Amino acid sequence: MQIRNIAIIAHVDHGKTTLVDELLKQSGVFRDNQRVSERVMDSNDLEKERGITILAKVTSIVWNNMRINIVDTPGHADFGGEVERILCMVESVVVLVDAAEGPMPQTKFVVGKALKIGLRPIVVVNKVDRSDARADEVINEVFDLFSALDATDAQLDFPILYGSGRVGWMSDSPNGSRDQGLAPLLDRIVEHVPPPIVGDGEFKMIGTILEKNPFLGRVITGRIHSGTVRSNQNIKALSPDGALVEVGRVSKILAFRGIDRQPIDEAHAGDIVSVAGLVKATVADTFCDSSVDEPLKAQPIDPPTVTMTFVVSDSPLAGTEGDKVTSRMIRDRLFKEAEGNIALRVEESSSKDAFFVSGRGELQLAVLIETMRREGFELAVSRPRVVMKKEGDDILEPVEEVVIDVDEEYSGAVVQRMTLHKSEMIELRPSGLNRVRLVFLSPTRGLIGYQSQLMTDTRGTAIMNRLFHSYQPHKGEMGGRNNGVLLSNEEGKAVAYALFNLEDRGSMIVEPGDKVYQGMIVGIHTRENDLDVNVLKGKKLTNMRASGKDEAIKLVPAVKMSLEQALSWIENDELVEVTPKSIRLRKMYLDPNERKRRGKSVNLYEFN
């Protein structure tokens, strides 16, 4: 059976995973009476909760006696490393573009990578049934984007399809027939996508996806570059620089069949399979026959732009809610994560209790922290910081391209706020329905925590998308948080009476009955300075009978922060304490005398 390998790439929420759902249904993968969950490829709990794809995944369908391997990819720029590494597995890409939004930053990023390695795309204008669809304009924008990315003449001669992945139809025109379902897309894949280019010689394969299986151990997925691999065959793994990683035996070969994987006895060049049997090899290593000495060349991955410090929790409540609290456990978990995620970098610090974790953005790191807390970890993490570069005497910082779609009435507030963050506006154009599209070049520093501020400024009507642009000279100092914090000066449980009396001082972030300790942040001060307060102080009891209205205290609801909001809200001298049950904010130094001596500007875990 002939093989075609293809990836579906697009910006977040343009419909990649939904389209894969329909392809699986219409190609006969599921029984007629089988109950199938929505976004069946998003199997991770966090993916289902957030409605996003975090990990690239492979599925396979058969169409007209041809096997089509399809790779579903993430849309967020934070998980761009997943997209970069899977492009070497495929011979073409389906570029999915929203009929109303057009090409967005992540579209530009992944399309640029695909064009650079010579892939010829198929363009699908999705969601043409939207009321604000503008399919013809979007195609012109896609062509302009391809031209700007130095596409060849062959790449610019791309097939175009229009349709709706959710409803499950494709056609050669926006108003074409809907009777054929997704058959036009599958036929176009068969016609347009070339067969896999296979090399001569013995078995070779680059590992692109790593996972742990409770029965098989380490399982590596990749496309076989040359030769044949068989069960029980002796193979070895070579690092990208050619060093021997390990020698082992293939215990199992798994082929993708629909959303399942089935064991097979042998696999041939061009197919995408999973191989088990090795215990040390990881992503970007070359898996090959024992006689091979030269590794395959892996695609380079863009470096991380944001770093955070993961610290062993030293709070008085440490160990009360989680069972994984030691530095060794945290270290092992972080390095295990870095093995399978090449866009993540983990480094040890001079302190045995602190680790530097660098990634593509706050979302990527927040997903890692959320995953760890669900596994039972307790730890503290610092505010995200950008990764600076030094060239000669110049300090360079990462700058991102930011696209904000907003109602016209709020555009002035957005421009004003972005200017305060040292941003430069490079484009302003109407996008229909009384909305405008603003494009900025902004330092990553100024964007940390800006999402929640943008929602406040625009009453929740703005949509922001970001993408790494380049490293540029340092833009100078930026203003930080305007408010100080209210700090607990005692350890115990917060009391409603004390919180009620402190409401004039600021907004509370703890509720009655919450456990607090000295140095823990319990509220947001109305002024710029920090203030130590007592939230344990109860009402003095007397022998006088109180009236009912004196006892009924009505508190203003506490401010609740998500993990991402907490990470971006804290300052350099503060930490977010994360446990399986709680998210607490605290000062880095809990003792007030130590805090005064160290000062606000000092960060114990800054890079050397």
- As to burial, measured by CB atoms within 10 angstroms (0-12 exposed, 13-18 middle, 19+ buried), residue 426 is exposed
Q: 57 is written with which tokens?
A: 């995944």
293: closest CA among 200, 199, 204?
A: 204
Please return the burial class of 197, using the count of CB atoms within 10 Å of its CB with bins 0-12, 13-18 and 19+.
Answer: exposed
- 323 annotated as belonging to a binding site for a ligand: no
Q: Is 129 annotated as a binding residue?
A: yes
Is 16 marked within a binding site? yes
13 labelled as ligand-binding? yes
The answer to whether 581 is a known ligand-binding residue is no
Q: Which two tokens stand for residue 478?
A: 């930026």
- Dist CA 412 CA 401 (whole Å): 19
Structure tokens at 456: 């406040």
Residue 403 in tokens: 């696209």
Residue 582 CA to residue 317 CA, distance in Å, equals: 11
Please indicate if the annotation marks 116 as binding a ligand.
no
Q: Say if CB 73 and CB 110 are below 8 A apart.
A: yes
Q: Is the dihedral of CA 190, 191, 195, 196 positive or negative?
A: negative
Is 559 annotated in a binding site? The answer is no
In this structure, the number of other CB atoms found within 10 A of the CB of residue 301 comes to 15
Which ranges of 27-116 does DSSP label H, i.e. alpha helix? Answer: 45-50, 80-86, 105-116
Nearest CA to 77 among 104, 106, 111, 108? 106
Q: Residue 192 burial by CB count (10 A; 0-12/13-18/19+): exposed, middle or buried? A: middle
Q: Report which of 461, 238, 448, 207 is spatially closest to residue 340, judged by C-alpha positions.
A: 207
> Exposed, middle or buried, 505 (CB in 10 Å: 0-12/13-18/19+)?
middle
Asked if 307 contacts 360 with a C-beta cutoff of 8 angstroms, the reply is no
> Which amino acid type is present at position 269?
A
Say whether 127 counts as a known binding-site residue: yes
Binding residues for GTP: 13-18, 126-129
Binding site members: 13-18, 126-129
